[in-house]
Structure 1
């Protein structure tokens, strides 16, 4: 009788059998010229026609992607192995997933990400019962460690993506600091959203230096003076000194993410942002 573990193992073998792009894509120093895209940025296109949207992302030059639609055991309506194959068919890597993970579904979510050939599984935000009190954040940290251990056994890294709320003090304490202090670095990494930490009035470089190595993945997005996200180069964030601390942060990969594309279409924005990164931030 075939078990779910057998299915995961066979799925991983099937994905691995597809020719991969150069392994340098999985060793991404900031000077490598490799770029990642959070598919949430082009979510409408992904919802309408995932194959065409992924082809467009690849044509723009992106090397790895982060899924943002993982429901009912499927990514964008596809079985995990099918999604992984489609991404690789376009010469990219399905590196990560933003998934609505909770204590009831996390094992299935982890197995799905492993079947798709992913390296990371990120929790996009905390549910209200965890984000409204110190006790809630402590319980969240406990769950992170549990999910991190289960992820490690599946060959994944579990991580958490921030917004502004985690930096707003509760009873004199910064919730994000609680998550950092109560999670095991061997089990849990952090996907730092550079725009939202900046919008919260915090300095990412300070966090890198106080918690070196904890921030393996970044979301790169710019920020307007009104604290709205923006296309790279069209906002107020000075990315060069932040990128200079990539090694301290432990950053291995980053994704362009833009929640709302106000001045360009999403496809235009991902091209402009990538060009800005390559032509302005790496020089």
Structure 2
């Protein structure tokens, strides 16, 4: 399954913008006061295209009707080869508003590399192998554990509202505790700088660890709700058997960002919004409970622009 967590592990690293929701009365609106907010897209959706030609891809995104974006990990370094100020200018010129950026919480443990052969210099460690598709000259990736202040400062330079942890090791209680410390530290720096900080989930955060608690429960209960918000990925929560509305009710106002992602009935295949099993209407009806501010369509590494156009069309019909 092509999701961000698996991609970042394999590299050793680690919607609908512009759609103005239908002009219906507040009483009829699924979103209440947020009904007129434009919705955005997570750029990981067009990962390959953004790495090949970011400017042309952003133009296609804008032409498709999207008006807000959330940036992500890329192979060019920085913000698709630009500084934060340069990327802000580029997106603004195309009629896009850059709202949030994803950064890894901490590097994932690299997978062991077996020796290339049994013959070779005795005692010599095998040379590290670069995963397929990762260029040899790829700039180093920043992460919140080691670079949180730089990432916060760059988010401010880019005029962002949120810095978001895209993924972090949560396989053990020790991993979770370390991540929680990073989140608290980053949240404090973000608040001081006048922006927000949030954590983005995958399905694995809902798997119990030692003691029976899940990483998601521990993160919610052991971080300051005013410093650490949540960006709920609707598809991964659905895959894990969780009801997003119940999550909202448990922590009202703590879910200002959503990934509007859909997944097929096999609960493995990410698909266009409206072509899967996520109950978007029920979820959107609870937007006020969640404290919704920004919505980003995401389809991990979608094959092309046609997919984001389909998501736009389907969600438009769904909400009209």
Task: Provide TM-score, normalisation by structure 2.
Answer: 0.74
Matches within 5 A, 1:69-108: 69=73, 74-100=78-104, 101-108=143-150
**Larger RCO, structures 1/2 (Cα 8 Å, 6+ apart):** 2
> Aligned-pair distance for 1:73?
7.0
The structure having more radius of gyration, on CA atoms, is 2
Q: Which residue of 2 aligns with 1:123?
A: 165
Question: What SS class does the counterpart of residue 174 from structure 2 fall into?
Answer: helix
CA distance in 2, matches of 1:143, 1:45: 31
Gap regions ≥5 residues in structure 1: 1-20, 22-26
Question: What SS class does the counterpart of residue 105 from structure 1 fall into?
Answer: helix
Q: Which residue of 2 aligns with 1:135?
A: 174
Shift >6 Å, 4+ stretches: 70-73
CA distance in 2, matches of 1:259, 1:73: 19
Gap regions ≥5 residues in structure 2: 1-17, 19-30, 105-142
Q: Which residue of 2 aligns with 1:10?
A: none
Question: What SS class does the counterpart of residue 35 from structure 2 fall into?
Answer: helix
Contact in 2 for aligned 1:35/1:274 (Cα 8 Å):
no
> Aligned-pair distance for 1:213?
0.7
Matches within 5 A, 1:38-77: 38-69=42-73, 74-77=78-81
> Aligned-pair distance for 1:136?
2.5
Cα RMSD for the two superposed structures = 2.0
Contact in 1 for aligned 2:156/2:195 (Cα 8 Å):
yes
Q: Which residue of 2 aligns with 1:256?
A: 297
Q: Which residue of 2 aligns with 1:7?
A: none
Say yes or no: does 1:110 pair with 2:148: no
Matches within 5 A, 1:199-278: 199-227=239-267, 228-261=269-302, 265-278=303-316
Contact in 2 for aligned 1:217/1:254 (Cα 8 Å):
yes
- Greater percentage in helix: 1
